A and B are shown apart, each in its own frame.
Chain A
């Protein structure tokens, strides 16, 4: 049977219970091409059921909800089934299964978790803030996984006095730190007034980037391996020096 759910943790836990006796469940929060005669179910979140099963799962493995949160953030289309298989195994074994790397379900979950974690680590480096006129910082990003709120604690610890916004342009939402609190908000397009000296700093940074390179040892493949091209969009140093309007000082803004 195919189970459709809304992608939240509670709905997932409900679906886990509903599909538990099903020998061949398929869980999805997106679209799925149906085959004629295929049975489908739309999972409606049952808070009580979800709470109960969460407690039970936590008694098997106290860190498992962290795993679930991470897997559900993945940008991978198969993530729902990866999580389902992993949690069915956990329910079956009744003990932490994380290190049972002989199991396919664990390997798939492990890889998924690793990818999300790795992207968070990468973005600790790849986020580029723009200085705005109000003094706050603004960073547009378009990561593979839904991680923008997970980036906040890192930057908040570094710059506790500067408010900042990390805007996931792809998912149209933003993690905001206002100098005291952090919250997540839907954000379609941001109107950003750049600080007067922003362009000058970007220019300096690009000059630095160009001069620190050793041209006689060019290894482009290695560079792209470490810093995939899809992440370049919001990096001033990877923007072609002249943009479409021929204005080489134009600041980087989300398109």
Chain B
């Protein structure tokens, strides 16, 4: 059994990685313990509001790199630990059996060399699959600059792999993570994608990353605008076939002249995720949402902002509008849009119906008509009405030293 100190150190070092999902794999149980759960499953939630789905742990936090933003960088005075393969495997098996976790998220600091680290990660997952008979979900972090042969070998045992982009542009990478470059991060992603396609085409036995690849980047540690970040994500989804891009708003855990001292706003991160969803599930293009040198509006959610600047498309009639258009109405989500499409086959929908179907009308009512009726405000008043609601929702009791956005707007007299 792994000792508490090692577990604590290795978890503390892994927790800033935001990837959490356990979805997308349909791996079956083949005589051991565990299987995939295609929709994913959250097992617990921590006080920071994040879910625990996978056992998120580093194999070692002893790093040879010195990335400025990273807690585990070489210069940082931090207790170091390295776990053995059996420690990790035993932990996964017993946690999984008790239904604490859905699987393993294994990452590592670059220990000794990239190849050595990747080899160690590969050994752990191989052991877990073959010796311990574990068929649950495994997410392995790819180590930049590791040999592709080892990465591909690891992919045979993992459900998902991810290479972190870390920062949204090459110049920031150079500044803050000088040992990594764009090539070492993007190239393995493309190679893995190609390898997966070959694996599928040749109908080889076994699995090769059934849940695909993801990546994550830190937002707010470097000066990139949301517009360029979203274009980058869009490229990753469409060209590299990634399943998810995670954004993590910068948390200042270290001090460095090159890093900002304040945390990136949670609201900005939230807006990025909203826009990300629009790219993946609502048929939007990044180009439609905003120009590359602009940030997303904090005042309105991205869909609302888009609709407000495209009032020529609205209002739409819910009984007639195609699904793609319903999806573009602020406040109507994928589920509501589908339910509207199903329900209107049987009856002419009115606002009363929509309300009972729990379609959120707070924003939507300004952009739709139901059976010809319109309950929204005049076009020039909508912007003001919606932003007033937003401001109210974000209002918090201030104290003398609070430094959030609302406090700032109070100082500038904007509030």
Contact = CB atoms under 8 A, between A and B. Distances in A.
Interface string A91-129: 000000001111110010000000000000100111111
B49 A226 contact: yes
A213 B47 CA distance: 7
Contact of A100 (B4, B42, B46, B347): B347
A215 interface: yes
Contacts, number: 144
B365 to A, nearest CB: 18
A174 B343 CA distance: 39
A121 B40 CA distance: 10
Contacts of A127: 99
Contacts of B168: none
Given A125-B41, A139-B99, A204-B1, A220 B55 contact: no
Contacts of A201: 1, 94-95, 98
A255 interface: no
A215 B48 contact: yes
B45 A226 contact: yes
Interface residues of B, number: 53
A238 B339 CA distance: 37
Interface stretch (B6-14, B226-234, B321-329, B402-410): B6-14
Contact of B263 (A107, A209, A216): A216
A162 B95 CA distance: 14
A212 B50 CA distance: 10
Contacts of B1: 197, 200-201, 204
Contacts of A218: 47-48
B157 to A, nearest CB: 18
B4 A207 contact: yes
A220 B91 CA distance: 28
A167 to B, nearest CB: 14
A205 interface: yes
Interface in A151-179: 155, 157-162
A140 interface: no
B46 A208 contact: no
A203 interface: yes
A227 B45 contact: yes
A220 B136 contact: no
A214 B16 contact: yes
B44 A125 contact: yes
Interface in B346-397: 346-347, 349, 353, 356-357
Given A204-B91, A207-B4, A217-B48, A159 B97 contact: yes
Most A Cβ at <10 Å: residue of B94, B266, B339, B345:
B94
Nearest to A102: B347
B193 interface: no
B251 A208 contact: no
A162 B41 CA distance: 21
A35 interface: no
B29 interface: yes
23 contacts: A100-B343, A100-B346, A101-B346, A102-B353, A124-B37, A125-B41, A125-B42, A128-B98, A137-B98, A157-B29, A158-B136, A160-B29, A162-B33, A204-B1, A204-B95, A208-B55, A211-B11, A211-B12, A213-B48, A214-B16, A217-B49, A223-B49, A235-B44
Given A104-B356, A226-B45, 19 more contacts: A99-B345, A99-B346, A102-B349, A125-B102, A126-B43, A127-B99, A128-B98, A158-B35, A162-B97, A197-B1, A200-B1, A201-B95, A208-B7, A211-B7, A214-B48, A217-B266, A218-B47, A223-B45, A223-B46
The 6 closest A-B pairs by CB, nearest first: A222-B49, A219-B49, A101-B343, A102-B347, A213-B46, A211-B11
